[in-house]
Amino acid sequence: MSHIVPLQIMNAVPVSRNGIFLCAERYICIVFMKQKIIITIDGWSSCGKSTLARQLARELGYVYIDSGAMYRAITLYFLRNHVDWTNAEAVHQALENIHLEFQSNHKTGQSEIYLNGENVEYVIRDLVVAEKVSEVAAIKEVREFAVRQQQQMGKNKGIVMDGRDIGTVVFPDAALKIFMTADKAVRVRRRFQELYEKNPNITMEEVRANLEMRDYIDSHREVSPLRKAEDALELDNSNLTIKEQLDIALQWARERTSDC
Ligand code: CDP
């Protein structure tokens, strides 16, 4: 049920879908406070989770958290510092030296990840990191480290988080869970285009191999494997435009937050 707090109603003009109204009278305004929910988006590699999550958060006035960026940043730290992640003690010590933070980019308005104070949002997308991230993300202590922080970020709700285990492990009680899929060929093409812009030497075959490897490791690992939560709604976007997928997800979100 939504929590509705009508303070005063006078010549109200709706200005946002988020329940905030402007009024003609000075000093009088009305704020309908809609209940904020947690929205989780899980799914296979490169199926557009972050695009949808970011847009959904913007439309709803929610915070967007890219949980994959956390695993990528941890992997980057391990690679740079030659951490042997098959050694539990080395992993434990390395994690003690890792501080992750999301900050909003003032120019783009998008949240970006910082590793020990350094903005690593772009470098973590590199294939060098993508080659190792699923191995690192399968380590129990790494997951506990990331999940603790993710749950903390969601404690006030009003959050859209995407990843692999968000609806199953991080927020099992989330009000809206989306599980995204798309044909493999479509996913490979999309990720290839994205990476090719930064590195024209990259090949479609490399991208396909990385995507298949990550899908396999992510769905077969012992700790929190990728799977669809029983109560998740499936969204196959192979043949959907970005606008169409957003409209579907927005509709689902509205059904779960009562309108004023
Ligand atoms: O963008 P893409 O879907 O390709 O991947 P990502 O969201 O950046 O995640 C990178 C990797 O982090 C995944 O392949 C998983 O191995 C891992 N990951 C995870 O284990 N759990 C999450 N909640 C998010 C990502």
Whose alpha carbon is nearest atom 12 of ligand 1?
68
Closest residue CA from atom 23 of ligand 1? 163
Predicted local distance difference test score (pLDDT) of residue 120: 98
C-alpha closest to that of 178 among 79, 94, 246: 246
| Cβ-contact 15, 21 below 8 angstroms | yes
Q: What is the pLDDT of residues 41-60, one digit of tens each?
A: 999 999 999 999 999 999 99
The CA distances from residue 37 to 214, 222, 256, in Å, are 30, 29, 8
Q: Quick check: CB of 134 below 6 Å from ligand 1? A: yes
Say whether pLDDT at 4 is over 80. Answer: no
pLDDT greater than 50 at residue 226: yes
Is the pLDDT assigned to residue 6 strictly greater than 90? no
Closest by Cα among 190, 185, 180 to 245: 180
Q: Compute the distance between CA of residue 170 and CA of residue 152 in angstroms, rounded to an integer.
A: 10
DSSP structure string for 100-155: EEEEE-TTT--EEEEETTEE-TTGGGSHHHHHHHHHHHT-HHHHHHHHHHHHHHTT
Hey, what are 91's tokens?
Answer: 């992993």
Q: Please give the pLDDT value at position 176.
A: 98
Residues 7-44: pLDDT tens digits?
Answer: 333 333 344 444 444 444 444 444 445 789 999 999 99
Q: Which residues of 220-255 are buried (b: 16+ CB within 10 A; e: fewer)?
A: ebeebebebbeebeebebeebeeeebbebbeebbee
Instruction: Report which ligand 1 atom has the smallest distance to the Cα of 215.
Output: 14
With CA atoms as reference, report the closest residue to 44 among 238, 208, 242, 227.
Answer: 227
Q: How many C-beta atoms lie closer than 10 Å to residue 175's C-beta?
A: 18
pLDDT-wise least confident of 12-21, 71-80, 90-99, 193-202: 12-21
Does ligand 1 lie within 6 Å of residue 133's CB atom?
A: yes
Q: Which of 133, 166, 227 maximizes ligand 1 atoms within 8 Å of its Cβ, making it the mutation to test the pocket?
A: 133
Dist. CA 191–CA 47, nearest whole Å: 9
Judge if the beta carbon of residue 165 lies within 6 A of ligand 1: yes
Relative to beta strand 159-163, strand 100-104 is: unpaired
Residue nearest to atom 6 of ligand 1 (CA): 68
> What pTM, to 2 d.p., does this model score?
0.86
Question: 3-state DSSP call for residue 174?
Answer: coil
Q: What is the mean pLDDT of residues 54-80?
A: 97
Going by C-alpha positions, the residue among 253, 228, 220 that lies closest to residue 56 is: 253
DSSP designation for 6:
-
Closest Cα to atom 18 of ligand 1:
68
| CB of 226 sitting under 6 A from ligand 1 | no
Q: For residue 258, what pLDDT is reported?
A: 64
Per-residue model confidence (pLDDT) at position 109: 86
Ligand 1 pocket member 67 (CB < 6 A): yes
The finding on whether 46 has its CB within 6 A of some atom of ligand 1 is yes
Please tell me if the CB atom of residue 75 comes closer than 6 angstroms to any atom of ligand 1. Answer: no
- Indicate whether 157 pLDDT > 60: yes
Could you tell me if the CB of 71 is within 6 A of ligand 1? yes
